[in-house]
Amino acid sequence: DAGVTQSPTHLIKTRGQQVTLRCSPKSGHDTVSWYQQALGQGPQFIFQYYEEEERQRGNFPDRFSGHQFPNYSSELNVNALLLGDSALYLCASNTPGMVDEQFFGPGTRLTVL
């Protein structure tokens, strides 16, 4: 049973560029959340997708956008990259039940130069 997978593993971009990160949820899960983890900090919630719609959003600017596909996989897009966007981006999936824990992927390490 494959867990949550993310691609790519690492990414290097320059300021002003755009980036797309990808996530496939754990088998049986239909809800995907994205988190940003800056160095030395805890993960910060970006947004959550369920039934191909953004259901909840954290305190992130509109430069951060996402998408969920019919197979439940998801993309995170970041436009006009800033140096401060350098972080580990984590994808998590779960079933829609509120009591269920989220399962996390290994993350994508984004470096903005």
Tokens for 5? Answer: 């997978």
The string of DSSP codes covering 83-110 is: GGG-EEEEEEEE-S-TTSPPEE---EEE
Identify the residue among 32, 105, 110, 112 touching other proteins (CB under 8 A): 105
Task: Count the residues in the chain.
Answer: 113
Q: Is the peptide bond before 8 cis (omega within 30 degrees of 0)?
A: yes
Question: How many positions of this chain bind other proteins (CB under 8 A)?
Answer: 27
Residues linked to residue 40 through DSSP beta bridges, in sequence order = none
Residues 6+ apart with CB under 8 A from 83: 15, 112, 113
Residue 101 CB, nearest approach to other proteins (Å): 5
Q: Which is nearer to other proteins, 33 or 74 (CB)?
A: 33
Residue 40 CB, nearest approach to other proteins (Å): 8
CA dist., res. 21 & res. 6, Å (int): 8
Q: Is 60 in the site for other proteins (CB under 8 A)?
A: no
Residue 66 CB, nearest approach to other proteins (Å): 14
* Binding pattern for the stretch 6-45 against other proteins, x by CB under 8 A and - elsewhere: -------------------------x-x-x----xxxxxx
Give the footprint of other proteins on this chain (CB under 8 A).
4, 31, 33, 35, 40-45, 48, 55-56, 58, 90, 92, 94, 98-99, 101-107, 109
